[in-house]
């Protein structure tokens, strides 16, 4: 077991893309930011120094943060921000029982658009992958690019009371590929070898299809949870999710091949489409011999059937052949979520006075981030008064038919209220949450991410969840485990987890544009009865508001 020390300096970086020079916020002068590598059992200690003009926090997406909720990172949930111009905070956490691909990103305003990087967890010494050792590992961070400051993009969206301006391009490892002499990420392979692609969707607002021309994949993990090997030629990945896939280099070595990431839009009326490309060539081929590269044939931008079949095909790899899903459920919740418009609050400065503001909600509560103190600090002080309330509802206020009745969907939005409401859980209780996507006007697939836990995805489907029809379809043997589930447009997903980690844990939509709109809630988990189940006090340099 090792301690891994890292230093992250957050500051300005000027980057040229699409013939335009843009100042972005970046870590250690790199875009994407530095890769962090650790082994299961290690302690990771990251010293963050904020030299940028913005408030910063860093989130270690998918790290379970056992007894280290203080290091989780979401702004005003686990901490106050690290202040501009020299603020510091040291994140310290253990990697316990986790292997695979995760990532880190800023968790305040839209800054994660450029403040992100890979977080790779390898097996402990003497342990190995549950699949043949690949010849090489290749990290592929998929992202979005704006010819603008992303902080301004967010401001504009809040002021307009609508969606933000679309990015102008997608990226693979920060590069757009193709078009007006945009540089390509290049991957040179050797025929007959197998490569482990560690694919991360760091895009702000779009799910993606990913393919490599003339090659196919075997998916072996998702969100740093091993899966049964699943063969496919297309990978579907929502913001926040990761996929580990083996790719065998078995195409004609004389050819050149594009790998491509392309927008998948569940919104039927969507018009945005973008593609990032990278180049795959074989070692045996001389460079630049004038060969055109082959483009993979991508699914249609709104091919939800392909997306759902990918998501529903994954199953979890059993350890020692034994199922681990908890069969007893203590708390059952039905959580609906969607988007609507509400009037501006009197004190709300970033709001369109005539149109109102977009209010995204869960069980008709639009989440408000506290301002005076983080949720976690208030929890530790045992003094939620004025910071949060413990009345997040287990069910929506009224049951609606989310599939057929536009008027009822409107009513679902009408009841939206604002608040900082959490759901309090006893230590070790088992929770099942049916996530019901209510949006039928502007139906859109929402990737919901839970901090602090991996959950089992027991089933997913379209239409209204119906216990009589759907409970028997639950996979209680080998469901996939994830930290982010893409809840189908106009559909549902059922997840289960054990609340064995004390602290404050946000669950939110990983389309970043929906976070300031309030598509979030938080679980408050009590300390357990034994000393090894008690959240320690905050670190001495814990930022204050
Ligand atoms: Cu990857 Cu709360 O985020």
- For the Cβ of 112 lying below 6 angstroms from any atom of ligand 1, the answer is no
Which tokens hold the place of 480?
């996939």
Q: 148: helix, coil or strand?
A: coil
CB atoms within 10 A of CB 386: 11
Helices vs. strands in the chain: H and E counts, helices first: 5, 32
From-to residues of CATH 2.60.40.420 in the chain:
1-129, 131-314, 331-533
Distance of CA 114 from the midpoint of ligand 1 (Å): 14
Distance of CA 69 from the midpoint of ligand 1 (Å): 14
Distance of CA 8 from the midpoint of ligand 1 (Å): 19
Spatial separation of the C-alpha atoms in residues 102 and 242, rounded to whole Å: 7
Distance of CA 78 from the midpoint of ligand 1 (Å): 12
Distance of CA 448 from the midpoint of ligand 1 (Å): 9
Instruction: Find out whether 195 and 138 touch, Cβ atoms under 8 Å.
Output: yes
Please identify, by atom number, the ligand 1 atom nearest to the C-alpha of residue 62: 1
- For the Cβ of 379 lying below 6 angstroms from any atom of ligand 1, the answer is no
- For the Cβ of 107 lying below 6 angstroms from any atom of ligand 1, the answer is yes
Please identify, by atom number, the ligand 1 atom nearest to the C-alpha of residue 239: 1
| pTM (predicted TM-score) | 0.95
- For the Cβ of 277 lying below 6 angstroms from any atom of ligand 1, the answer is no
- For the Cβ of 61 lying below 6 angstroms from any atom of ligand 1, the answer is yes
Residues 6+ away with beta carbon under 8 Å from 133: none
Which ipTM value was assigned to this complex? 0.99
Spatial separation of the C-alpha atoms in residues 278 and 282, rounded to whole Å: 14
Q: Please say whether the dihedral angle defined by the alpha carbons of residues 83, 89, 94 and 99, taken in this order, is positive or negative.
A: positive
- For the Cβ of 59 lying below 6 angstroms from any atom of ligand 1, the answer is yes
Spatial separation of the C-alpha atoms in residues 474 and 387, rounded to whole Å: 37
Distance of CA 240 from the midpoint of ligand 1 (Å): 7
Give residue 412's pLDDT: 55
Please identify, by atom number, the ligand 1 atom nearest to the C-alpha of residue 103: 1
| Strand partners for 159 | none
- For the Cβ of 66 lying below 6 angstroms from any atom of ligand 1, the answer is no
- Nearest residue (CA) to ligand 1, atom 3: 61
Please identify, by atom number, the ligand 1 atom nearest to the C-alpha of residue 515: 2
Spatial separation of the C-alpha atoms in residues 305 and 302, rounded to whole Å: 9
- For the Cβ of 514 lying below 6 angstroms from any atom of ligand 1, the answer is no
Give residue 162's pLDDT: 73
Sheet holding 100-106, edge to edge: 36-39, 116-122, 100-106, 58-61
Give residue 76's pLDDT: 98
Sheet holding 235-237, edge to edge: 185-189, 275-282, 256-264, 207-212, 235-237
Burial bucket for residue 324 (CB in 10 Å: 0-12, 13-18, 19+):
middle
Distance of CA 469 from the midpoint of ligand 1 (Å): 32
Distance of CA 254 from the midpoint of ligand 1 (Å): 42
- For the Cβ of 451 lying below 6 angstroms from any atom of ligand 1, the answer is yes
Residues 6+ away with beta carbon under 8 Å from 102: 60, 61, 62, 63, 118, 119, 120, 121, 223, 224, 242
- For each of the chain's 545 residues, which pLDDT tens digit applies? 799 999 999 999 999 999 999 999 999 999 999 999 999 999 999 999 999 999 999 999 999 999 999 999 999 999 999 999 999 999 999 999 999 999 999 999 999 999 999 999 999 999 999 999 999 999 999 999 999 999 999 988 888 777 778 888 999 999 998 766 678 889 999 999 999 999 999 999 999 999 999 999 999 999 999 999 999 999 999 999 999 999 999 999 999 999 999 999 887 667 778 899 999 999 977 656 566 899 999 999 889 999 999 999 999 999 888 999 999 999 999 999 877 666 676 776 777 666 666 678 899 899 999 999 999 999 999 989 899 999 999 998 877 676 655 555 555 555 678 899 999 999 999 999 999 987 655 567 899 999 999 999 999 998 889 988 898 999 999 999 999 999 988 889 999 999 999 999 999 999 998 888 899 999 999 999 999 999 999 999 999 99
Please identify, by atom number, the ligand 1 atom nearest to the C-alpha of residue 74: 2
Please identify, by atom number, the ligand 1 atom nearest to the C-alpha of residue 506: 2
Distance of CA 281 from the midpoint of ligand 1 (Å): 34
Instruction: Find out whether 8 and 21 touch, Cβ atoms under 8 Å.
Output: no
Give residue 272's pLDDT: 76
Tell me the fold of 1-129: Immunoglobulin-like (2.60.40)
Spatial separation of the C-alpha atoms in residues 135 and 189, rounded to whole Å: 10
- For the Cβ of 87 lying below 6 angstroms from any atom of ligand 1, the answer is no
The CATH architecture annotation of domain 131-314 reads Sandwich (2.60)
For residue 512, what are the CA distances in angstroms to 106, 108, 542? Answer: 11, 10, 25
Distance of CA 516 from the midpoint of ligand 1 (Å): 13
Give residue 324's pLDDT: 94
Instruction: Find out whether 239 and 447 touch, Cβ atoms under 8 Å.
Output: yes
Superfamily of domain 331-533: Cupredoxins -  blue copper proteins (2.60.40.420)
Give residue 489's pLDDT: 83
- For the Cβ of 240 lying below 6 angstroms from any atom of ligand 1, the answer is yes
Distance of CA 394 from the midpoint of ligand 1 (Å): 23
Distance of CA 449 from the midpoint of ligand 1 (Å): 6
Give residue 166's pLDDT: 84
Instruction: Find out whether 369 and 76 touch, Cβ atoms under 8 Å.
Output: yes
Spatial separation of the C-alpha atoms in residues 86 and 47, rounded to whole Å: 12
Please identify, by atom number, the ligand 1 atom nearest to the C-alpha of residue 451: 2
Distance of CA 104 from the midpoint of ligand 1 (Å): 9
């Amino acid at each position: 077991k090792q301690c891994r020390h890292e230093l992250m300096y957050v500051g300005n970086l000027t980057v040229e893309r699409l013939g335009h020079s843009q100042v972005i916020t970046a870590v250690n002068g790199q875009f994407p930011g530095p890769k962090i590598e650790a082994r299961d059992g290690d302690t990771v200690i990251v010293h963050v120094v904020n030299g940028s003009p913005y408030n910063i926090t860093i989130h270690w997406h998918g790290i379970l943060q056992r007894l280290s909720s203080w290091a989780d990172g979401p702004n005003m949930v686990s901490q106050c921000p690290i202040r501009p111009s020299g603020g510091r905070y040291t994140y310290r956490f253990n990697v316990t029982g986790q292997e695979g691909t995760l990532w880190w990103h800023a968790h305040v305003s839209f800054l994660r658009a450029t403040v992100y990087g890979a977080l790779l967890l390898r097996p402990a010494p003497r342990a190995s992958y549950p699949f043949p050792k690949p010849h090489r590992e290749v990290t592929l961070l998929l992202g979005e690019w704006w010819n603008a400051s992303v902080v301004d993009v967010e401001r504009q969206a809040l002021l307009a009371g609508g969606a933000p301006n679309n990015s102008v391009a997608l990226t693979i490892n920060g590069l757009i590929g193709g078009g007006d002499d945009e540089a390509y990420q290049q991957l040179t392979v050797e025929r007959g070898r197998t490569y482990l692609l560690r694919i991360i969707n760091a895009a702000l607002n779009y799910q993606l299809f990913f393919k490599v021309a003339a090659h196919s994949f075997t998916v072996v993990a998702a969100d740093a949870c091993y899966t049964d090997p699943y063969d496919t030629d297309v990978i579907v990945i929502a913001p926040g999710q990761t996929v580990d896939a083996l790719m065998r280099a078995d195409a004609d070595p004389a050819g050149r091949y594009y790998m491509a990431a392309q927008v998948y839009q569940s919104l039927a009326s969507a018009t945005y489409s973008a593609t990032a490309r990278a180049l795959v060539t074989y070692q045996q081929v001389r460079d630049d011999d004038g060969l055109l590269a082959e483009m993979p044939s991508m699914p249609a931008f709104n091919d939800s059937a392909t997306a759902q079949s990918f998501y529903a095909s994954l199953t979890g790899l059993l350890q020692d052949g034994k199922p681990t899903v908890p069969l007893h459920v203590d708390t059952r919740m039905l959580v609906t979520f969607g988007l609507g418009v509400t009037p501006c609050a009197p004190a709300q400065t970033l709001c369109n006075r005539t149109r109102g503001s977009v209010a995204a909600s869960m069980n008709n509560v639009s989440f408000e981030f506290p301002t005076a103190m983080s949720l976690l600090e208030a929890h530790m002080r045992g003094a939620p008064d004025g910071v949060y309330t413990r009345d997040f509802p287990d069910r929506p206020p009224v049951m609606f038919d989310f599939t057929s009745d536009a008027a009822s969907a409107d009513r679902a939005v009408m009841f939206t209220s604002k608040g900082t409401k959490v759901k309090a859980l006893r230590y070790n209780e088992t929770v099942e949450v049916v996530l019901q996507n209510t949006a039928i006007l502007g139906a859109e697939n929402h990737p919901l991410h839970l901090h602090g836990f991996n959950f089992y995805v027991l089933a997913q489907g379209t239409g209204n969840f119906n216990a009589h029809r759907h409970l028997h379809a639950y996979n209680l043997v080998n469901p996939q485990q994830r930290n982010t589930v893409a809840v189908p447009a106009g559909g549902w997903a059922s997840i289960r987890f054990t609340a064995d980690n004390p602290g404050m844990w946000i669950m939110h939509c990983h389309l970043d544009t929906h976070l300031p709109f309030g598509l979030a809630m938080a679980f408050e988990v009590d300390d357990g009865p034994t000393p090894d189940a008690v959240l320690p006090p905050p670190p001495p340099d814990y930022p204050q508001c």
